[in-house]
A = this chain, B = another copy of it.
Amino acid sequence: MTKYINQNPVLVAVDCIIFGYDGEHLKLLVIKRAIEPVKDQWSLMGGFIGTNEDLDGAAKRILLELTGLHDVYLEQLQAYGQPDRDPIERTISVVYFALIDINKYSKQINDQYHAEWFELKKVPELIFDHSIMVKAAMDKIRYQAALHPILFELLPKKFTIPQLQNLYEQVYDSPIDNRNFIRKITASGLLIKQTEKDKSSSRRGAFYFKLDKLKHKAQFQSFLSFISKPK
């Protein structure tokens, strides 16, 4: 059959907003753009969609290429299509965000991109509309994390409750009462207490926990409330 007539094909790119958490700060992984225009400026990791690839597949490929990681939390954020967002050629960008365990990331995997982690508040100016995308991603993560247990994706397999609390505090940029937090999070039933303690951040030590993956999966779709309502 003949193709659609009189239509203008455009390029479609997939960009990935990659978040990590080092135990102290929420961080963003960005690269130095390898091609013109704006070569060597900070940019999200992205690429054009392949001929036989769907959007999710392209996002996974791009993420794998930069980080070497499979099976990470990946969610489509939004498509961006300002006609002039890329000065060279009309390009629609479908943006994904990923939450990864930063400890699994190794700089050695693929150094050709000169990737670097920045604390969220210290991310440099990014090319095109990438900074806007990051802002939108943060909004969405705050929204999602208030209702669903997604922030566990940023933590290592074993983590402590104070670590988890600090992560929530980073994400919402506001202090949380630790007594209420502990109660809420243990009441959720999502955590399995380990016998070992993490002694690195206090004399007393904090118990490690693992995520109960079955319960996590089961509860994921239910509307939970992990943070208090903004005032």
Contact = CB atoms under 8 A, between A and B. Distances in A.
> What is the interface of chain A mostly: helix, strand, loop, or mixed?
loop
Interface stretch (A19-27, A72-80, A185-193): A72-80
Interface residues of A, number: 40
B1 A11 contact: no
Task: List the number of copies, as a whole number.
Answer: 2
Given A12-B92, A88-B1, A222-B229, A7 B81 contact: no
Contacts of A1: 36-37, 87-88
A49 B81 contact: yes
A3 interface: yes
B37 A55 contact: no
Contacts of A91: 4
Nearest to A52: B83
A175 interface: no
Nearest to A47: B7
A54 B83 contact: yes
Contacts of A71: none
A94 interface: yes
A223 interface: yes
Given A3-B89, A4-B48, A222-B229, A54 B37 contact: no
Given A4-B11, A12-B12, 9 more contacts: A1-B87, A2-B88, A3-B89, A4-B88, A8-B48, A54-B81, A54-B82, A222-B230, A223-B230
